[in-house]
Structure 1
Amino acid sequence: MLTQRPSFRFLAIGAGVCLLLLTFFVFGTDTSRGLSSKYIIKPYPRQQYCAPPVNSSAGWEFVVERDGNNHGLSEEQCRIAFPKLYLEIDKSSSLRTDKRVSYTELNSRTVDDGMMRGIIDRGELYIVEYAPMPVTATRARATLSSLHRALTAFPDRHLLPSIEFIFTSEDFAEDTTGPSPIWAYSKRDSDTSVWLMPDFGYWAWPEVHIGPYHEVRRRIAAIDDGETAADGAHVLGLQFKEKKKQLVWRGSLATNPPVRTKLLKSVQGRSWASVRVIDWDDENDIRFNLLPIEDHCRYMFLAHTEGRSFSGRGKYLLNCRSVVISHPLQWREAHHAALVASGPDANYVEVDGDWSNLPQKIDYLIDHPDTAERIANNAVRTFRDRYLTPAAESCYWRQLIRQYSAACDFEPVLFSTDRDGKTRPRGVPYDTWLLTH
């Protein structure tokens, strides 16, 4: 008796159905735009990001003269050199322990003025969408340039995970779209959807006449530590106790009137105050009152105030061998985990929010110059020589990529398919984009 064989036709139909179901579950679609295959769902269970064991760099130590400008430190070297650097990234990651970022969630955020949507694939940067805003156009280019540098300087960039992200070049991110993630220069503790990224000043800040970051650091170090002249002679730096025993501040009141007006009120009639308001719309006022950022370092005390959100001058001031004095900060930046306000390791001084105890603090520091110098030296050791080095910035960018990827349940794809079956790239290579914007 013959046994009936299963029909190959039914087997083929079944295989086709399975393939279609597999495609549906693996590849995402966006029918609203007529495009498909824009992302790939990552497998479950969730794969948490774990730092590799520190072994290949055993015995290695960070030396700022050798490593400070090295944008290509290994992941192990980054963790050895900057143990406090990733605190804000860790906070954002912890908020995504139970619910990862989906493509639908990311796609729910509109790319408004000053925002950019990008993809990193195998260590290469692509621009998907950009909404230019004249006021922040240089910020966007500076930020992308810094991110691109952090990628290209890393020998193993092809091993970095693929991600799709949105960032804003505004002072802060409008947290109005629920949990949809966005990268921004600063955040408050309540801004749970914001992932902190390094600010544009690590590249340059032309609007306030601040050049490339590495060059600013060189000029600051020349004031504090001296430099070698063209003829080979060494020019001595400015000793801390030789600096002007004054508190210096230059800026606009408009960006934060409550805080900055109170600063002005607290220093009225004080001989130790060199505080001036700048009208950025008045060229004559700028010419008279503007103080080059490195020349702030010629003063013993530097006032730091937040603006609409963070103040970009903060990292420059912390590069100086001077005492930074600040009100309590509401807006977080990437390097803030390294700030210490009290004790033997203090690297800045915190005053009351209304600056009412500023005169008392200044009088104490003037009367105790050794204490003031210790704080200034701690700032140099902590920030200029470590957490605010170009090397630290690039380490931060790559760790942001790794941990943001671990918080996402999808990987982007670079090519999408139209309804007519034609494929097209979703993003423009950064190198090409830069030449047209």
Structure 2
Amino acid sequence: MLAQRPSFRFLATGALVSIFTLTFLIFGTRSSRDAATRYILKTARPESISQAHCTQETYATLPNGSWNFVAQRDALNHGLSNEQCQLAFPKLFAEVDKSVSLKGGARITYKDLNSREVEDGMVRAIIDQGQLYIVEFAPMPVTASRARATLNSLHRALMAYPDRHLLPNIEFIFTTEDFANDPTGRGPIWAYSKREEDTSVWLMPDFGYWAWPEVQIGPYHEVRRRIAAIDDGETTADGSTTPGLRFQDKKKQLVWRGSLATNPGVRSKLLKSAQSRSWASVRVIDWDDENDIRFNLLPIEDHCRYMFLAHTEGRSFSGRGKYLLNCRSVMISHPLIWREAHHAALIASGPNANYVEVEQDFADLPRKVDFLIDNPQVAERIAENSVRTFRDRYLTPAAESCYWRHLVRQYASVLDFEPVLFATGRDGKLTSRGTPFETWLLMN
């Protein structure tokens, strides 16, 4: 970060040496000072800092066995304590913890962070005393709503937490693209999905946990309500009750709607395997054709009226996965390459299976669907396991906010610096490096 002192070996006169030296002292020293005021080095080991923050937090009193996560009561509670989060969602944080272990004791420096340029669709931000500030935003029209959704979700997780001022201060960059380019030597980045080899990528919740208007999917909590109304029934404002749809009364078909363009290698094989099958309701949607959308688009909650739900990855992860797992239906998927935050809770075999995995080319899809149709009790058990695991636990809004705060803590544990929000500029004035999120949101 320090400016390099110019070489004066070939200058002819002492006067020129003096001029160049004076120039360096004026401008080089200012440049160094500007860089230094962007961050301060930590003086303690990162893990000690993280633990210090945790021990100061005010947790709910939890005598042994006195608290359990209850979906009906806690699913929308964005402010669970750290201890409650750990008790409720023990499998949720696997990918974040893995990112910490991959560092092998190494730390992320300010130089590392700066090596990742903020390109189209990226956001650079600071969390300072639990408050969110936007340092840099490179909007991309296609994903601009994703940036707002992601920042709203993170802000909500911070604001709902009573001890947010005790969370560690961090500076980070995230991308709103489907995945992050992860070439060797690039700095850390937060992204919606990652592969095994993406060692500098830190996994964050996707934008759909706020809303996904581009595909006509509304706020996540509202989608969950509509899904639960199909599976469990609901009571309307006038007091009348609509019964839920029993699993055995669902359409005994495999449903899928989507575009081939985002992953033709996988999705075309699904179409081929399901072709001419009586149990298949598999259709391609052309998102550029309004008529095709009008006739073939299936509201996300209406997927839950089917007994079997096909899931395929797209350019990377497929955003529909978490919605399908909210249904009391059986999700059927090929082996997933792109990871999401909740994937550690997926179980494909045994009595606790909560989805069905088929081969990458879907060659065994007919055999497995036929088996499930012929053994409805097995299918229903998988569907019930899915509800208990995902709809009522790992895919609740409460779990999402817990994940955000765990990501903040664990990311901070491997930083060797803390960002400085207010920096001294060349004019000597103290200015904020970031725009408060509340202000930024009204401007973008």
TM score, norm. by length of structure 2: 0.90
Name structure 1 gaps, 5 residues minimum.
1-28
CA contact (8 A) 1:136 1:169 kept: yes
TM-aligned CA distance change 1:104 to 1:30, over 3 Å: farther
The 5 A counterparts of 1:53-92 are 56-58=61-63, 59-92=66-99
Alpha-carbon distance between aligned partners in 2 of 1:412 and 1:133, rounded to the nearest angstrom: 26
The two structures, once aligned, show a CA RMSD in angstroms of: 1.6
Match of 1:39, as an amino acid? Answer: Y
Match of 1:288, as an amino acid? Answer: F
Alpha-carbon distance between aligned partners in 1 of 2:61 and 2:190, rounded to the nearest angstrom: 32
Alpha-carbon distance between aligned partners in 1 of 2:316 and 2:35, rounded to the nearest angstrom: 38
Runs of 4+ off more than 6 Å: none
Other-structure match for 2:40: 40
Is 1:181 matched with 2:188? yes
Match of 2:198, as an amino acid? Answer: D
- Distance apart, 1:254 and its partner CA: 0.3
Q: Percent identity?
A: 73
Alpha-carbon distance between aligned partners in 2 of 1:177 and 1:435, rounded to the nearest angstrom: 37
Alpha-carbon distance between aligned partners in 2 of 1:169 and 1:242, rounded to the nearest angstrom: 40
Alpha-carbon distance between aligned partners in 2 of 1:75 and 1:105, rounded to the nearest angstrom: 29
Alpha-carbon distance between aligned partners in 2 of 1:35 and 1:285, rounded to the nearest angstrom: 54
Q: Secondary structure at the match of 1:47?
A: helix
Other-structure match for 2:422: 415
Other-structure match for 2:391: 384
Alpha-carbon distance between aligned partners in 2 of 1:357 and 1:47, rounded to the nearest angstrom: 47
Match of 1:112, as an amino acid? Answer: E
Other-structure match for 1:13: none
Alpha-carbon distance between aligned partners in 2 of 1:418 and 1:115, rounded to the nearest angstrom: 25
Is 1:158 matched with 2:136? no
TM-aligned CA distance change 1:55 to 1:434, over 3 Å: closer
Other-structure match for 1:272: 279
Once structures 1 and 2 are overlaid, which stretch shifts more, 43-52 or 308-317? 43-52
TM score, norm. by length of structure 1: 0.91
CA contact (8 A) 2:30 2:426 kept: no
1:230 alignment partner, one of 237, 252, 270: 237
CA contact (8 A) 2:116 2:186 kept: no
CA contact (8 A) 1:114 1:169 kept: yes
Alpha-carbon distance between aligned partners in 2 of 1:279 and 1:30, rounded to the nearest angstrom: 56
Alpha-carbon distance between aligned partners in 2 of 1:32 and 1:43, rounded to the nearest angstrom: 20
Other-structure match for 1:432: 439
TM-aligned CA distance change 1:328 to 1:32, over 3 Å: farther
Other-structure match for 1:95: 102
Alpha-carbon distance between aligned partners in 1 of 2:392 and 2:149, rounded to the nearest angstrom: 23
CA contact (8 A) 1:97 1:407 kept: no
Match of 1:84, as an amino acid? Answer: K
- Distance apart, 1:34 and its partner CA: 5.0
The 5 A counterparts of 1:216-365 are 216-365=223-372
- Distance apart, 1:383 and its partner CA: 0.2
Alpha-carbon distance between aligned partners in 1 of 2:293 and 2:45, rounded to the nearest angstrom: 58
- Distance apart, 1:415 and its partner CA: 1.1
CA contact (8 A) 1:297 1:321 kept: yes
CA contact (8 A) 2:34 2:423 kept: no
Name structure 2 gaps, 5 residues minimum.
1-28
Other-structure match for 1:17: none
2:113 alignment partner, one of 106, 112, 127: 106
Alpha-carbon distance between aligned partners in 2 of 1:30 and 1:83, rounded to the nearest angstrom: 48
Q: Secondary structure at the match of 1:383?
A: helix
Once structures 1 and 2 are overlaid, which stretch shifts more, 35-44 or 49-58? 49-58
Q: Secondary structure at the match of 2:177?
A: coil
Alpha-carbon distance between aligned partners in 2 of 1:33 and 1:378, rounded to the nearest angstrom: 57
CA contact (8 A) 1:36 1:418 kept: no
CA contact (8 A) 2:330 2:383 kept: yes
For residues 360-391 of structure 1, the C-alpha deviation after alignment (integer angstroms, 9 at most, x for no partner) is 00000000000000000000000000000000
Alpha-carbon distance between aligned partners in 2 of 1:293 and 1:436, rounded to the nearest angstrom: 32
Other-structure match for 1:18: none
